[in-house]
Structure formats: C-alpha cells, structure tokens
Structure 1
Amino acid sequence: MRAVVARAFGGPDVLEIIDVPVPTPGPGQVRIRVQAATVNPVDAATRAGLLAESGLMAPRDTIGIGWDAAGTIDATGPGVTTFTTGDAVIGLSDRLDVPLGTHADYVVLDADAVAPAPAGIPATHAATLPLNGLTAAQALDLLDLPRGATLLVTGAAGAVGGFTVELAAHRGLRVVAVAGPGDERLVRDLGAEWFVPRTAADLPAEVRAVVAGGVDAAVDAAVIGPRALEAVRNRGAFVAVVAGAAPVPLRGTRVSNVWITADGAQLAELSALAAGGHLTLRVADTLPLKEAALAHRKLDEGGLRGRLVLTAQA
C-alpha cells in the first residue's frame, strides 16, 4: 500500500509516498481502508520537525503523517465486536510512536478510537471531524461551563474555532467570536452571539464592552495568548489549543492545555451531531494522496476556510 512519510524534516518537498505492507490489526484493533484523510496544521508541524524538537515525538528514521481518517472497516482483530467489515467509519490516530499515520491507503486503529461515520455525509467531509471536533469538544469539557455562561473563542472562523462555536452554542453557552473582519457572517451563522474583529486595536476592551467584567472563559484557537486572557474575568478559565501556548494564569485564572485524546464514544456523539446538521464540516479542497506535498504547500500558504483533504485516488 501507499503511505505518506517524511525521512527528513523541512518543507513540503520532504514528503514521500512509499510502498509498505498492508498492516494487520491486532487484538482490539480494526483496519480501515482510507477513503479520505484531512491535512491539519499538526501534520505540517510534524513534517517540519516541531514535534520532535519539543520532545513530543521520539527520533526515528521514517515518520508517518496524518491523524484523521474516514473510510470503511476492512478487517477486525480478535475481540472486536463493535464493528464489522464494510462499516463506514471515522477515526483518529493520536499516538506519536506508531510508524505510519492516516495518510495512507490503510490504517490500523484501536477500535475505541473509531466511530460510525456521520450518515449521509461524504467521506471527504466526514474526515474533517475527528481531530478538530474532538479538540473543540475536549476544550469545552475542560472548561465545564454551565448553560448561559459566556465564552470567548479566538480563531472562530477556523476548523477548531468553528467547531468550538457550534458546540458551545449547542451546550447553551453565549459566545463572543474573534475572527477576521470578513468572517462575521460566518461565525454568527455558527452560533456566535457577539463578534469582535481580530484586528481590534484593544481586543480585551472590545470584548469587555459587550460582556461587562469579562467573559467567563476562553478557548484560544488562534494562539493569541495574553490578549485573550485579559478578556477573561478574574478567576475565570482559559484553554490553550496549541501545546506550549498557555499563558501565565494571572488574576486567578484557571489555565490549561487541551491534549487531544482519541475517544470513539465522544466521536460518535460528534458524528451524530454532524449528521443532524448541528456541526458544519468544511472542506477547502480535495487532492489525491499522491499530491500530499502540494496539499502541504497550500496549507503553509494559509488563508483557507475549511480543511484540505487527501483522497484515495491513485
């Protein structure tokens, strides 16, 4: 089978398509024939060597790329009773010690990292849900806010930010969205009650102008750090989406990082929400697996609304 790997760190051109044996699922695992796999910023960070530099990934000669996958169950290992061959599924590969990622023709995952695919939604769109949707949901779980609480979401027009806005609104939270000036309609359609442009000269002041005393909490998907923290009330809560981006917990703020974990049960809930039209799955473009390097170049250029998705085309 084909798999996307990096044997050196650097720009998109370090990516290679190699031929490797089709993996065999072990106890409690399933093999997925991948139809679509999302290209995420963490894939670019992996390729560039940032995860290795930060100590999150052990050194090795060949590094597989990819976290998200949508496809069909191709084989099951011993003890798997929740899935059968032919089931349409989505899944997340969250381990950094495995040799290959989801940017491949097949991937083996633990069965509890997999969920039924959202009914009626193409694999290209379904593939955008696992990593970004779970990150948003788990960030909100860390905050544990009651209905009616106020939440600031930076990067609200992005993939993680957009899911955070929708899930927060679904949970009964009141959202202040921070995004580009041209994204106000988008984030309001996602469920934001208030909008503050990211270009605001004094972002904390503008947030506090619409929510007196500051918001109860923030999810910092845009990694603006202290500017977002200053918009949070004293003894509020703050979640950083990117590793190492958590600011100093000033004014008694409870600050934490969301460390993504594969969770098939939670992913099944997100899948059902997507199937019911409560989550917006946005695809910026689709490219065949063989164009992985081009997808990374497009990602590095920025300006995307939605995710790039690699498909199983030859």
Structure 2
Amino acid sequence: MRAAVVKTFGGPETVEIVETEVPEPGARQVRIKVAAAALNPVDAGVRGGFFGGAGKQIGFGWDVAGTVDATGVATAWSVGDEVVALDPGMVRPLGTHAEYVVVETDAVATAPATVDAVHASTLPLNALTAEQALELLELAKGQSLLVTGAAGAVGGFAIQLAVARGLSVTALAREDDEELVRSLGAAHFASGTAEAAAFDGVLDAANLGEAALRWVRDGGAYVGVRPGGHPDSVRGIRTTAVAVTPDGARLAKLASLVDEGVLTLRVADTYPLTDAAKAHARLEEGGVRGRLVLVP
C-alpha cells in the first residue's frame, strides 16, 4: 500500500509517498480501508521534527474515515462498516495518511450518515479536542465562554458544542471571520481583544497562552489545546490543557450531532494522497478555513 511519511525533517518538500505492507489487525483492533484522512497542524509539527524521531520514518495523519475491511478478535465491528476514528501518535512509522490503517476498536465510531467520507474525516481530532476541552472547563449552563481562534477547526466545533451546552459564547477571531463564527452560533464577537476579566472560562484554541488569562474572571477557568503548554494560574484561575485521547463512544455522539445538524464539517480542499506534499504546502501558507483532506 501507499503511505505519506517523512524521513528527513523540513518543509513540505520532505513529504514522501512510500510503498509498504498492508498492516494486519491484532486483538481488539480493526483495519480500515481509508476513504479520506484530514491534514492537521500537528502533521506540520511532525514534519518539522517538533516531536522528535530523527532518523526514523514517521507517518502522518490522526483522522480517518473509511470502511472496516478486516478485524482482529474481540471487536464488535464487522467488515463493511462505515466508520470514523482517531488514531493519535507523534512518532510512528505509519499514520492515517495511507491506503489502510489499523486502529484500536475502542477508538472507532459509526460514520455520520448525512455527509460523505471527505467531510466525515474532519470530525475526530478537532471535535474530540473541543469536546474534551469543554469537559475540562466544567462550565454550567448560562455561564460565559470566550473561544480564541474561533474560526479554526477546534474553535468552530467549540462554539457549536458550547452553544449546545447552553453557554453564552463570545468568539475571538479576525474581523473578516465575524460572519463565519456567528453562523456557527457565537452570540458575541471580538476581534484583536476582548473585555478584560469578563468570562467564566476561556478555551484557547489560538494558543495565546498567558495573554488570554486577562479575559478570565477571578476564579474562572482556562483550557489550552497544547498539552503541557498552559500558563501558570493567577487570580485563582484554574489552568490546564487538553491532551486529546481516542474515545469511540464520545466520537459516536459527536457523529450523531453532525446528523442532527448541530455540528458543521468544513472542508477547504481535497488532494490525492500522492499529492500530500502539495497539501502540506497549502497548509503552510496559512489562512485555511476548514480542513485539507487527503484521498487515497
């Protein structure tokens, strides 16, 4: 099978397509024939060596949508099931940017029925990150939330999931993204700055860090999306960061929210797997609204 990997860290030109053996599922694993796999900023970090692994072949991709085509023992999935899954890993020989991928059975969920595989592949990583971040914030219905980087993939899901929880959401984004974030459900909009110490919580999808704490009230909560990168607590603010983990049961609920029209899946463009380097180059340019998706 073909897979996108990096063997020497650097820019988009370092992305290679290699031929390798089709992986076999073990106990409590399934093999998915990949129909689509989203490209995320974490993949650019892998390519640049941010997570280490010098001298190794490292695969790209955490998101996948496709069809179960083989199973190990002790799994409830069957060949032919249309699924989505999160397959995380910073330094490993192969990821989801391949023709086939093996994932843990508990990471898998039935794909949304109302969208195609390309759109479905944008759900797992970013929606689970947003959902798990909101859980860490522990805000109650009626409380106020500021989402930074609100026009991005995590930020967009965070707005919609927070609104569904009954939170009052303010979106912090560029001025030309106001219409977008309001369409996702944000009741209020801020560009460049927001009212100091006004919010019960901040979900910092833009990775502003310490600078974002000025928008949290005393005793409020801050959650970042860079594991280990959250700022120290001040004014009694509880600070932490989400380290997204696979959760097939939660992913299934998120998929049902897609089918109910609660969550919007955004695709910026698609590329053949063989053009993975071009997709990386487009990601590097910035300003992408929605996800770039690779199709084997």
* Residue identity in the other structure for 2:24: T
Aligned to 1:55: none
Q: Deviations over 1:246-287 (max 9, x none)?
A: 112111110001001000000000000011111010000000
Q: Deviations over 1:192-217 (max 9, x none)?
A: 1110013xxxx2xx424xxxx51000
Give the secondary-structure state (helix, strand or coil) at the position aligned to 1:226.
Answer: helix
1:68 alignment partner, one of 63, 69, 75: 63
Q: Deviations over 1:132-169 (max 9, x none)?
A: 00000000010111101100100001000000000000
* Residue identity in the other structure for 1:17: I
Q: Find the aligned partners of 1:244 and 1:8 in 2 and give their Cα distance.
A: 26
Aligned to 1:50: 50
Alignment of 1:130-279 (within 5 A): 130-198=124-192, 203=193, 206-208=194-196, 214-279=198-263
- The answer to whether the Cα contact below 8 Å between 2:154 and 2:205 also exists between their aligned partners in 1 is yes
Q: Deviations over 1:78-105 (max 9, x none)?
A: 1112x11111100011134542100000
Q: Find the aligned partners of 1:98 and 1:227 in 2 and give their Cα distance.
A: 34
Q: Find the aligned partners of 1:249 and 1:59 in 2 and give their Cα distance.
A: 35
Aligned to 1:39: 39
Structure 1 position 184, deviation (Å): 1.0
* Residue identity in the other structure for 2:195: V
Q: Find the aligned partners of 2:55 and 2:240 in 1 and give their Cα distance.
A: 30
Give the secondary-structure state (helix, strand or coil) at the position aligned to 2:23.
Answer: coil
- The answer to whether the Cα contact below 8 Å between 1:152 and 1:176 also exists between their aligned partners in 2 is yes
Aligned length: 296
Q: Find the aligned partners of 2:133 and 2:248 in 1 and give their Cα distance.
A: 17
**CA separation of 1:14/1:158 partners in 2, compared to 1, >3 Å: closer, same or farther?**
same
Aligned to 1:280: 264
Q: Find the aligned partners of 2:55 and 2:102 in 1 and give their Cα distance.
A: 20
Q: Find the aligned partners of 2:287 and 2:228 in 1 and give their Cα distance.
A: 24
Alignment of 1:75-114 (within 5 A): 75-81=70-76, 83-96=77-90, 98-114=92-108
- The answer to whether the Cα contact below 8 Å between 1:176 and 1:207 also exists between their aligned partners in 2 is no
Q: What percentage of residue pairs aligned between the two structures are identical?
A: 54
The unaligned stretches of length 5 or more in structure 2 are: none
Structure 1 position 60, deviation (Å): 5.2
The RMSD of aligned alpha carbons is 1.1
TM-score, normalising length from structure 1? 0.92
Q: Find the aligned partners of 2:137 and 2:93 in 1 and give their Cα distance.
A: 34
1:294 aligns with 2:278: yes
The unaligned stretches of length 5 or more in structure 1 are: 53-57
* Residue identity in the other structure for 2:157: F
Q: Find the aligned partners of 2:91 and 2:278 in 1 and give their Cα distance.
A: 26
Q: Find the aligned partners of 2:290 and 2:219 in 1 and give their Cα distance.
A: 34
TM-score, normalising length from structure 2? 0.97
Give the secondary-structure state (helix, strand or coil) at the position aligned to 2:235.
Answer: helix
